[in-house]
Structure 1
Amino acid sequence: MPDAQALFSLHDVSVRYPIRRGFFQRVVGHVGAVDGVSFDLRRGETMALVGESGCGKSTLGRAILRLEQVADGTIKATGKPAATRKDLARKAQVVFQDPLGSLDPRWTIGNLIGEGIDVHGTARGAERDSIVRDLLKQVELPASAFHKFPHQLSGGQQQRVAIARALAMRPELIVLDEATSALDVSVQAQILNLLKDLQAEYNLTYLFISHDLTVVGQFADRVAVMYLGRIMEMGDAADVLSAPRHPYTRALLASSLKVDPDMRIDRVPLLTGDVPSPRNPPSGCRFRTRCPQAQAGCAELRHRMVPAPNGRETAACLANGDL
């Protein structure tokens, strides 16, 4: 049953890309980037999506924003089907990993931040410029940035512009797609603190897409661990990262820096081998081909989420005694 405070609800969402061949580009198959994902994004929370590169994190974020077409399942906003992409822009915005790549180098910062205001006609002239200057102040940029161009700013300042641009539409959800991974550690901390302050002020919901479990442990309220298009484990970030239940989550944590220096992580074999092709994923548990605890029955195991303590959910796993 969807959470009463859910801002967005995902139910069995799948995204597939067609494989085309030949002169006429006939569709000869599909690549499943996201396969049967379900969860709620709750008002005012930070939900993190973590996993290895290519697991489907960014694709799922783009599907929520309707930048990718959903093949199966539904994504509902506050209990209703998502509106058109233009209408959805008022509710959900995105901040990308590379701010400079997402900002038109020919436009001034004032015009970049004010673009959404211009498109939707929410303010004009002096009122519009006043809103943009207020946004610059909110993201802690000097007023002089209004007339500058993106290349005249540092990487951290460019990301602040991207955040201000997202805020211009007063959204309820912001998808942060690796938004801090390209920044220096000190700048990263400043941006994360800014995002927390903005969240507290505007009751924002964040979908935080990242591969950095240390940052996730400090920033997220809940976390969903993805592997090859499916959720392997989901729950409160502190619980999942301190006591992972699924073998993939344990292996992922063992392969990364510790989230907490005082946290003990049982030693498990590090992840080895390549992630299987999403065009032809393994049967049963998709992690079985790399899992140190794989059993013969894993090839036949049906993917389903099993309730765990403290409201967590874990993909069915024979190593955990799930049948």
Structure 2
Amino acid sequence: MPDGALFSLRDVSVRYPIRRGFFQRVVGHVGAVEQVSFDLMRGETLALVGESGCGKSTLGRAMLRLEDVSEGTITADGGMSRREIARRVQVVFQDPLGSLDPRWRIGDLIGEGLDVHGIVRGAARDARVRELLSQVELPTSAFYKFPHQLSGGQQQRVAIARALAMRPELIVLDEATSALDVSVQAQILNLLKDLQAEYNLTYLFISHDLTVVGQFADRVAVMYVGRIMETGSTTEVLASPRHPYTRALLASSLKVDPDARIETIPLLTGDVPSPRNPPSGCRFRTRCPLAQPDCASLTHRMVMTGSRETAACRANNDH
């Protein structure tokens, strides 16, 4: 692993078997994630962006060991057993209410991990929970409330406190702000930044919102039908995207930087191909306005230019 890396992914693929018939014979596979490689550096925020169904959440679950890796390796600094993963890697989901047991009070929800891992118990555990409530800017009176008694923003603060309770090194934020209105979203993002600075947290930020990514992430990896199309610093990628898919994705969303000069390219049209039967060659070629005949036979590989990587693309003359 490179110095400073918390996680290293090398040629990671996650595939699901397709079964048919009475005996459920395997007749093929759905490649949700295909040959993904990157390093997640300690203390940074790496954003995974792309359209729905591109494999972002599947990749996040693989890092949480909630999905089995079909090929490749995910290596953690110092190595992590499944039990260590449960403590050192936490997740905050898009729907906080759906991830919080409605029958439990907030104090018990936040303190559950402390009980399970035997970190602190009794009065010390309750004191730690109240400390966490304060850290996520909730009143201590929330300790005795149920999830439905809180607003959406407050529920997400509870989910963050629940993740923080384990003193994690990595938090996977799976569309963690997309269900919130703009003002609450900004408050949660500011809170996450403050917590990252205080605890040197590492974030894997899964999102489709490039405006939020531009404000929050240090680096970005653009995914399409299970593959990485482009990676680099957020500033570089959003200001001067190299791959046609990244340019189209930006053109289809609110412009992050009004002064950024993005090459004119038509908006995304058509549907995302099924990972069950992806296009040959460049997977974006069926929707790419710059596609050329030999894109169908182009081998997927990442081309390094300075500090950035881009998938090989005939339109960019990257062979």
Taking structure 2 as the reference length, the TM-score comes to 0.98
Report how far residue 79 of structure 1 moved: 5.3
2:103 alignment counterpart:
106
Q: Which amino acid aligns with 1:114?
A: G
| Aligned twin of 2:267 | 270
Q: Deviation string for 1:239-267 (max 9, x for gaps)?
A: 00000000000000000001122323222
Instruction: Confirm or deny: 8 A CA contact 2:14 2:31 kept in the other structure.
Output: yes
Indicate if the aligned counterparts of 2:240 and 2:260 stay in contact, CA closer than 8 A: no
Q: Aligned ranges for residues 118-133 of structure 1 at < 5 Å?
A: 118-133=115-130
Please give the alpha-carbon distance, in whole angstroms, between the structure 2 residues aligned to 1:322 and 1:242.
20
Q: 1:136 matched to which residue of 2? A: 133
Following the alignment from structure 2 to structure 1, what is the Cα–Cα distance between the partners of residues 260 and 243? 18
Pairwise mapping of residues 26-37 of structure 1 onto structure 2 (< 5 A)?
A: 26-37=25-36
The answer on whether the counterparts of 2:240 and 2:261 sit within 8 Å (CA) in structure 1 is no
Superposition deviation, residue 21 in structure 1: 1.9
Q: Which residue of 2 aligns with 1:4?
A: 3
Greater CA drift, 161-170 or 13-22: 13-22
Structure 1 residues 284 and 79: CA distance shift in structure 2, 3 A: farther
1:320 corresponding residue in structure 2? 316
Q: Residue 172 of structure 1: CA displacement?
A: 0.3
For residues 148-189 of structure 1, what are the alpha-carbon distances to aligned partners after superposition, in whole Å with 9 as ceiling and x for unaligned?
000000000000000000000000000000000000000000
Q: TM-score, normalised by structure 1?
A: 0.97
State the one-letter code of the partner of 2:81. Answer: A
Shift of 1:275: 1.0
1:185 maps to 182
- Give the counterpart of 1:288 among 285, 300, 312: 285
Which residue does the alignment assign to 2:155? Answer: 158
**Aligned-residue RMSD, C-alpha:** 0.9
Aligned partner of residue 138 in structure 2, secondary structure: coil
Q: Secondary structure at 2:87's aligned position in 1?
A: coil
**2: CA distance between counterparts of 1:316 and 1:266?**
18
- Rounded to whole Å, the distance in 2 between the matches of 1:223 and 1:280 is 27
Aligned positions of 1:250-261 closer than 5 A: 250-261=247-258
The amino acid of 1:316's aligned partner reads A
Number of equivalent positions: 319
Of residues 20-29 and 128-137 in structure 1, the stretch that sits farther from structure 2 once superposed is 20-29
Give the % identical residues: 81
- 4+ runs deviating over 4 angstroms: none
- Residue type of the partner of 2:270? G
Please point out which of 222, 226, 229 is paired with 1:225.
222
Structure 2 portions without partners, runs of 5+ = none
Q: Which residue of 1 aligns with 2:39?
A: 40
Task: Point out where structure 1 has 5 or more consecutive residues left out of the alignment.
Answer: none
Mapped to 2, the partners of 1:136 and 1:322 lie a distance apart of 51
